[in-house]
Amino acid sequence: MSALFTIENEIRYEIVRKIFEGGMGIVYEAEQLGARNFVKRVALKVIRQNYASQKSFIENFVGEAKLVADLIHTNIVQTYQLGESRGVYFIAMELIRGVNLEQFTQQLEDKKAKLPLELAVFIASRVTRGLAYAHAKTDKDGNPLGLVHRDVSFKNIMIAFEGDVKLTDFGIAKARGFLEDKEGEVVAGKADYMSPEQADFRITDGRSDIFSNGVVLANLLLGRNIFKGENAEASRANIMGMPIPDFRQLDNRVDDRLNEILHRSLVHDLDERYPNAEKFLYDLEHYIYHKGYGPTNETLGRYIRELFGQNTPHPTASRGETALISRDPVTASVKALE
């Protein structure tokens, strides 16, 4: 027996501010309005109008929303709704009060601070938890989705001021039946964080995300990305050809065990790399907790609040770039202003 609830007035949203602007879309903070003055703060990812008419782009945007709708994990940004109004598509997502790792490390640099080693490993371990969950995800019939994020990087990892670490933006992820995928024909992802197989236009699996997360960990420890070149082509060449360094010589805080963990996550030979995220996670967590105590969300939360003075940048949208959510009580209408 099933029950059907019909809601006469669809969900409405009102824009508060612009959070992030990318090449293909804009993310806004918005208020979801409901019955009896119900208000929930969310993030709205809106497609730019010049992409709204491109069928393949729309299909992948919709595919991303469907893919992540059932990814419910504390270390993955939650998706609430896929919407369409006046020909513009948007995704309503969990709003994270915090910063991405790019902003986080920039603040460290500005404050001339060095991230404690145990917090760097903790952040990488939380990302690995999210990856382990996503990689193991199955469809409703129990068939593995074969999900690979393919864009694990500083911009796509967020830290909330409460200390939660969240993986976001599955826009170029691959998973059977959800997204149009031309892997092997085109290269996807940020060059500085690609796995060797990504950079070489080869087919990827979950081990590719492990490599990318290894780059994240090394970057957090050293304060720089060892693979970054003058341009994307140079970065890919470094990823594919540069020998993995002895991290003990680059940072004297790195001991033998952590050096081994980094090397196993970053090794080019897939048979020698961590076979899955669960194995990587075990080693990361054993490293920081084997003495019986270690960092927690609260530890990271205190650190980031002190680093930012409990404030985060609140960029405001200029009038010419704002998106509006209609106050029409029937539907949520998104319109990009000229």
Domains with residue ranges and CATH for the chain:
12-96+315-336 (3.30.200.20), 99-308 (1.10.510.10)
Q: Is the per-residue pLDDT at 257 higher than 90?
A: yes
CA–CA separation, 61 vs 65, rounded Å?
A: 6
286: region left, alpha or beta (phi > 0 left; psi from -120 to 50 alpha):
alpha
Residue 325 confidence (pLDDT): 35
- The tens digit of pLDDT for each residue in 198-249 reads 999 888 899 999 999 999 999 999 999 999 999 999 999 999 999 999 999 9
Instruction: Give me 195's structure tokens.
Output: 């796995």
Which is higher by pLDDT, 297 or 311? 297
- The tens digit of pLDDT for each residue in 61-72 reads 787 778 788 899
Residue 310 CA to chain centroid, in angstroms?
A: 22
- The tens digit of pLDDT for each residue in 92-107 reads 999 999 999 999 999 9
Which is higher by pLDDT, 78 or 87? 78
Instruction: Give me 200's structure tokens.
Output: 């070489």
Q: Is the per-residue pLDDT at 323 higher than 60?
A: no
- The tens digit of pLDDT for each residue in 152-182 reads 999 999 999 999 999 998 766 665 555 555 5
Residues classed as catalytic: 151
CA dist 308 to 160, 163, 201, 223, 300, Å? 12, 13, 39, 18, 12
Is residue 209 within 8 Å of residue 148, measured between CB atoms? yes
Please tell me the pTM assigned to this model. Answer: 0.85
Q: Rg of the chain over CA atoms, in angstroms?
A: 21
Sheet arrangement for strand 165-167: 98-100, 157-160, 165-167
Q: Of 68, 276, 269, 102, whose CA–CA distance to 178 is shortest?
A: 68
Helix (H) or strand (E) holding 63: helix 55-69
